[in-house]
Homo-oligomer: A and B are copies of this chain.
Amino acid sequence: MESSKETGSAAAASASLGEAREQRRRIILAAARLFCRLGYNRTTVRALAAEVGMQSGNLFYHFKNKDDVLEAVMREGVLLATEAADRALAAAGSTQERLRGLFRAHIQTLLGPDHEALQVMLYEWRRLPQEQHQRLVALRDAYEERWQVVLDAAAKEGLCPPDTRLFRRYLLGALNWSSEWFRASGEIEPSDLADRFLRFALEGRTWTSP
Binding site for B on A (CB under 8 A): 39, 41-42, 123, 125-127, 161, 163, 166-167, 169-178, 180-181, 193, 196-197, 199-201, 203-208
Contact = CB atoms under 8 A, between A and B. Distances in A.
Contacts of A178: 169, 173
A127 B39 contact: yes
A177 B173 contact: yes
Contacts of A196: 163, 166
A171 B174 contact: yes
A123 B179 CA distance: 12
A177 B176 contact: yes
Nearest to A200: B170
Contact of A200 (B126, B161, B177, B199): B161
Contacts of A200: 161, 166-167, 170, 201
B181 A197 contact: no
21 contacts: A39-B126, A39-B127, A123-B123, A161-B199, A161-B200, A163-B196, A166-B193, A166-B200, A169-B178, A171-B174, A172-B177, A173-B173, A173-B174, A173-B175, A173-B177, A173-B178, A176-B177, A177-B177, A203-B205, A204-B207, A205-B205
